[in-house]
Amino acid sequence: MNTALRIRPAASTTKSFFRGYVVTMRPYLLFVSGITGIAGMSFGDISDPVRVFSIFAACFLSYGFGQALTDCFQTDTDALSSPYRPLTRGAMSRDLTIAVSLAGLTVCIGLLGYWNPLNIPLGILAGGGLATYTWFKRRWWGGPWYNAWIVCVLFLMGALASGYGMEHHPDLFLWTAAGTFFGYGNFVLTGYFKDIEADRSTGYTTLPVRYGRRTATITSDVIAAAVAMSIGALLVFAGPARLARVEGSLFLLASLLTLFAGQWNLHQNRTDDTAHQSIIPVVHAYVLFLAGAAALRQPGWFFPLVGFYLSFCLVIARRPERQQI
């Protein structure tokens, strides 16, 4: 059954469009790309506040622009699972949303590329990944890993923009990258549990649609185990001198606990409407993991990272639709 929503150009003011665009960006998830960039930055050695702010801003906003872009290509399933969104209600112009999203992503790539030209091709690659994500989401084997590599590239871009070279602490860098990949992949997979009925109705054959909740849950457990392994490796490779300062280890242990809570809740999940009870701990675990990785590298960032995490908690608690993440 094809229930695709026909998006009509919205007869709205510029102010109302951008108000709707902010909702489409999911402000509560900007912290996900923000912490990804911060973790990458922690491997560099920069003190210029302009450089720090521009890198952070580019990473922080990139999730929102990317989310708005991908939403333009999956309004059929969103019309059933997320009818509150302005784009699915036809309250925004699809063409204008695409244009603004591409312009925003171009600015973000440009900022990161200014500090390291290698980020230009990486940004174009990631942008192409965002534009083609919907094709992979429709296939049970594709969505989570395909989305995860894009976010992993953002982590690399943040590091490169900060002057990181792979010859410095490659063990910490690779384990952080691995945790980023698996942690975000698990967030994507658990996110599919809230849209099973909508995805099934519109031809999105995600893993839980194709093989059911039980198989998808076990798959999520395996991915979560990989995240736990990354947490353990960071604690080991950080060394006793780092652990003596406890900043990073506190975040990492909190990440492990919330990850376990998310997996436990996922095993209890039976309906789309209650899936957010699993997704919320998983995304918290992701933010805490990368905050821990950053604090291991930069112990002096501990209190700003605590403030960042508390801000994330406040904003995600105020999301417009409780069942949607």
pLDDT in tens, 6-16: 444 444 567 88
Q: Which residue has the higher pLDDT, 189 or 79?
A: 189
Mean per-residue pLDDT for 203-222?
96
Q: Are 152 and 180 in contact (CB under 8 A)?
A: yes
Residues 6+ apart with CB under 8 A from 80: 3, 197, 198, 201, 202
Tokens at residue 125, please? 């690659």
Nearest to 44 by CA among 140, 177, 159: 159
Whether 240 has a pLDDT exceeding 60, the answer reads no
Separation of first and last alpha carbons in the chain:
26
Average pLDDT, the chain: 90
Nearest to 183 by CA among 18, 21, 16, 35: 35
pLDDT in tens, 50-95: 999 999 999 999 999 999 999 898 888 888 888 888 888 888 888 9
| 39 vs 45: CA distance, rounded Å | 12
So what CATH class is 14-317? mainly alpha
Q: Give residue 92's region: left, alpha or beta (phi > 0; psi -120 to 50).
A: beta
pLDDT for residue 42: 93
pLDDT for residue 1: 39
pLDDT in tens, 260-317: 999 999 999 999 999 999 999 999 999 999 999 999 989 889 999 999 999 999 999 9
Tokens at residue 114, please? 């200014």
| 240 vs 150: CA distance, rounded Å | 33
Tokens at residue 102, please? 């591409």
The pTM score is: 0.92
Tell me the percentage of the chain whose pLDDT exceeds 90.
72
